Amino acid sequence: MDKKRIAKRITAGYKAEITYEGITYHGVVENLSETGASITLVIQEKERDFIPGKALKLKFEIQPGETLDLNCTIKWSTKLPPHGLINGIGVVIIDPPWKESSNFL
């Protein structure tokens, strides 16, 4: 495990909606921990910069009928080749609601 990690991560694969600066994007939560997540986004239009330190909303369904809507801060962002239309972003979850979630982490 990477020594910089604060919490253990699980492989997720959840389809997600990310709202950033008023625009909603679709992606996949690749992995998840109690404190953060790694997300892959496919950007349909021109390249998009996701700026570390900025806020976004992350929404995904962890099981049928149970959706999480999380406030997050961008920790890191990278554009994947060849065209930069796929972004990888890491986020920190602000006030995680794990106590309210019945079967998670």
Cα–Cα distance measured from residue 52 to residue 78, given in angstroms and rounded to the nearest whole number: 10
| Cα dihedral sign, 101-67-56-86 | positive
What kind of fold does domain 10-94 have according to CATH? Thrombin, subunit H (2.40.10)
Task: Pick the closest to residue 35 from 75, 87, 62, 65 (CA basis).
Answer: 75
Cα–Cα distance measured from residue 7 to residue 23, given in angstroms and rounded to the nearest whole number: 29
pTM reported for the whole predicted model: 0.79
* Matching residue, tokens 């992606």: 27
Task: Pick the closest to residue 41 from 53, 26, 56, 58 (CA basis).
Answer: 26
| pLDDT tens digits for range 37-92 | 999 988 766 667 899 999 999 999 888 888 889 999 999 998 877 665 678 999 99
**What are the domain boundaries of the chain?**
10-94
